[in-house]
Structure 1
Amino acid sequence: MTEAHRRQKQPQLIRGQLLAVVRSLLVEHGPHAVTLDAVAKQANVTKGGLQHHFPSKQALLEALSDQLFEEFECSFAEALSQEAPAPARHARAYIRTCFDHSPGGHTVETQRAIGLLALTLPQCRERWHAAMETALAADGNDPDTANRLLLCRLAGDGFWFAQMLDVYHLDADRKQAILKMLLTLCDGDNQP
């Protein structure tokens, strides 16, 4: 009996390792670099072992998209739980999530992976669109408030995108000052 037969099977751990390799290849070399052969080689598994978990490149990219979306949802839920009940609560939590660079937060690598998948997979774009439609509904029915909160969300998206592309070199103090300004704008006339 081979060593592989004696090892304890840990499919979730293996799937996580495979997706980490996919994320790395995607970010470092682009979607074209994500092939079954490249993932298997870098993860040090057989192609058959890889295909046991993910039968195709499409399945790999979709699984990574799901993982990134779940990470975002967890970060957003955490940020939302820290917001006081108020009309701007969902927008504030969204903006905090865009600015989150804490351990486990949205690192530049994660941002780049999300961006590349959104550009590559129509279903990824559709999922983000649906999530943002739901998010905007939480901003209420008052057009002025909804527009102000959308403007703040768009600024948060712009910050997120600029960080992903490493456009501006902002120190931590400046990032915090910009975040504070955006959160204040979210509150409008209801500033704390």
Structure 2
Amino acid sequence: MSQGHLRKKQPELVRRKLLDCAEKFAVDLGLAGITLQAVSEAAGVTKGGLLHHFQSKQILVEGMFENILKRLDAELDQAIARDHERWGSFTRAYLDTVFVGHEFGLKGPWAALSVSMIAEPGLRRIWADWLDARLRRHRESDSDPILEIVRLAADGAWLGLALRDHGTVAADIADLRARLLSLTRK
């Protein structure tokens, strides 16, 4: 009998390891760097084991993307909970994550993956659904048109900075962030 038959099955741990390995490949090499063989080997799982959890590379990539969004949700929720002003609280949390957040910030794992979202319809759909759900959830506090303009400006600034070859942040990013944050206060 092989060791695999004796080992206790832990599907959630295996799934977590596969997602972590896929994310590492995506961050280091881009989405093209994710192969089922490479991810399964890095995770110490057979390719069949990977396919048991994720039936295709696309499903694996989408699962990885959704996993990052869950971590982004947690980061946003923590920032919102610390905010003492309700009006614009989601937009302020979004600004903080766009510029300096752990997941979404310019140096986080999201930076390496989000540019791929532009060309990948499945990922764009996941992002759009996530953002629509967040905006519905924060409709009472963040539906003002000026707050939408602030979020769009932050997205544009983030994309412009993320696409720079040298990967450095502009010297005036702190000033831009401060000016956008000032627009989120009543």
Partner residue in 1 for 2:148:
150
Partner residue in 2 for 1:49:
49
Residue 87 of structure 1 contacts residue 139 of structure 1 at CA under 8 Å; is this kept in 2? no
Correspondence list, 1:76-91, <5 A: 76-91=76-91
User: Share of identical aligned residues, percent?
Assistant: 29
Correspondence list, 1:1-192, <5 A: 1-102=1-102, 106=105, 107-120=107-120, 122-136=121-135, 138=138, 146-166=144-164, 169-170=168-169, 175-187=173-185, 190=186
Residue 21 of structure 1 contacts residue 42 of structure 1 at CA under 8 Å; is this kept in 2? yes
Matched residue type, 2:184 = C
Give unpaired runs (5+ residues) of structure 2: none
Q: Deviations over 1:6-27 (max 9, x none)?
A: 3333222221221122122223
Q: CA deviation at 1:161?
A: 2.3
Q: TM-score, normalised by structure 2?
A: 0.78
Matched residue type, 2:150 = C
SS at match of 2:144: helix
Residue 88 of structure 1 contacts residue 139 of structure 1 at CA under 8 Å; is this kept in 2? no
Matched residue type, 1:128 = W
Report the count of equivalent residues. 183
Q: Distance in 1 between matches of 2:184 and 2:37?
A: 47
Q: Provide the alpha-carbon RMSD of the alignment.
A: 3.0
Q: Distance in 2 between matches of 1:96 and 1:65?
A: 20
Q: Distance in 1 between matches of 2:173 and 2:118?
A: 25
SS at match of 1:186: coil
